Amino acid sequence: MKEKLYSAFIGKYGDGGDIRMYFAPGRVNLIGEHTDYNGGHVFPCALTLGTYGVARKRQDSKLRFYSMNFESIGIVESDLNDLVPDKKAGWTNYPKGVLWAFKERGYQMDCGMDVLIYGDIPNGSGLSSSASLEVLTGVMLKDLYGFEVSLPDIALIGQYSENNFNGCNCGIMDQFASAMGKKDHAIFLDTNTLEYEYAPVKLEDAKIVITNSKVKHSLVDSAYNDRRNECERALKELKEVTDIQALGDLTEEEFEKYKEAIKDDVCRRRAKHAVYENQRTIHAEAALKAGNVEQFGKYMNESHVSLRDDYEVSCEEIDVLVELAWKIPGVIGSRITGGGFGGCTVSIVKNEAVDTFIEEVQKGYQEKCHKKAEIYVVDIGDGAHRLS
């Protein structure tokens, strides 16, 4: 892979100079969905799939970007002094946004760079290809320009650029997982304080299996922002009766005590999900730590039901995939993962059931939704880094 990327870079931009290579992973969230903008906990892990970048500094202020995933687009040019979002600039708005965010924070870049990108995260699958591209750019800038910036700060800069340059109001989970991932571990992150702990994911007799529905419904961005607004409305009403800063501050019991303060039934259900999902994530991490994978799987299933019924971010195709999985002996847990309205499910499947899982889920999905699901048995990898 490294040789292939290196020669592709030279083919595009020519040889010579200090050419460096980087990697930033995508992520899968095991549990803790739509809690990261509600001051709750998340439990994602970095994948070994992700985005590779090759870069070299230039003498002038030009920026040149090329993606092997979008060869027909060719090289896209920009300039350090002209960092504004531009629809025509397509995917390059992500690295440009991170450059802009570094500048906003006072980091000075004395010259531009040539960049070549290649990603092996399936496109539009909800496994955080854009967050990985943002974090990749951050790690690249830190190393190439010698910036003093920590990995959690790179995650925050990535989120800031996504919110303010690319217009998606996401939380911190995806960028944090990509920056801070650790091989064979999930990250138990308190999104309120950004305190985190690595939890070993020891699934000796089971695997993490991701099923890609290959659908992405158009409401993803608008509905994501609607959910955020509904949670904010609920929080505002709860604040009138109890002293909290975020929905993640409440236990289930406290929520039940104060929930009538939320007038609108829809907002009440959204808040219920945020509160219960946060508590579920705390319990699920404890179960995994105690080696109780079966219990962890039950929490995953409950999470799906809550996302489907109270938060309403699932869709027909995803529900079909999850219900097919639930029926297969040896499936410990299965749920939607990521923002929703399509994308992927994550399942924990006993080793001996993996082949049956692939067969049954693909067959059932084809019959019920007339689509071919893609299934990946994945490994948990490290966070973003320079490749030697």
Binding residue (CB under 6 A) for ligand GAF from 21, 28, 31, 34: 34
Q: How far is the CB of 174 from ligand GAF (least distance, A)?
A: 5
Nearer to ligand GAF, 174 or 249 (CB): 174
The interface region with ligand GAF, picked from 32-40, 49-57, 80-88, 265-273 by CB under 6 A, is 32-40
Under DSSP, is residue 28 helix (H, G, I), strand (E, B) or coil? strand
Q: How far apart are CA 267 and CA 52, in angstroms?
A: 40
Q: Which amino acid is at 25?
A: P
Binding residue (CB under 6 A) for ligand GAF from 339, 342, 381, 383: 339
What token pair was written down for 23?
A: 């990697």
Q: How far apart are CA 231 and CA 221, in angstroms?
A: 16
Nearer to ligand GAF, 152 or 330 (CB): 152
- What share of residues in the chain are helix, strand, coil (percent, to 5)? 45, 25, 30
Nearer to ligand GAF, 78 or 306 (CB): 306
Distance from first CA to last CA of the chain, Å, rounded? 13
Nearer to ligand GAF, 114 or 162 (CB): 162
Nearer to ligand GAF, 56 or 272 (CB): 272
Binding residue (CB under 6 A) for ligand GAF from 174, 249, 310, 312: 174
Residues 6+ apart with CB under 8 A from 226: none
Q: For strand 195-200 and strand 76-79, is the pairing parallel, antiparallel, or unpaired?
A: unpaired
Give the binding-site size for ligand GAF (rule: CB under 6 A).
10
Specify whether the CB–CB gap between 106 and 87 falls below 8 A: no
33 makes contact with ligand GAF (CB under 6 A): yes
What DSSP designation does 73 have?
Answer: G
Nearest Cα to Cα of residue 116 among 91, 99, 97, 98:
91
Residues listed for the chain: 388
Q: Is 174 a catalytic residue?
A: yes
Residues 6+ apart with CB under 8 A from 71: none
Q: How far is the CB of 339 from ligand GAF (least distance, A)?
A: 3
277 makes contact with ligand GAF (CB under 6 A): no
53 makes contact with ligand GAF (CB under 6 A): no
The interface region with ligand GAF, picked from 30-38, 77-85, 242-250, 352-360 by CB under 6 A, is 30-38
Q: How far is the CB of 57 from ligand GAF (least distance, A)?
A: 31
Q: Which segments are annotated as binding site for ATP?
A: 67, 124-130
233 makes contact with ligand GAF (CB under 6 A): no
Binding residue (CB under 6 A) for ligand GAF from 26, 338, 364, 383: 338
CA dihedral 321, 305, 33, 225 (to 10 degrees): 90
Of 79, 86, 120, 174, the catalytic one is: 174
Q: How far is the CB of 34 from ligand GAF (least distance, A)?
A: 5
Under DSSP, is residue 258 helix (H, G, I), strand (E, B) or coil? helix
Q: For strand 206-216 and strand 62-67, is the pairing parallel, antiparallel, or unpaired?
A: unpaired
Q: Supply the residues annotated as catalytic.
A: 174
Binding site for ligand GAF (CB under 6 A): 33-34, 36-37, 170-171, 173-174, 338-339
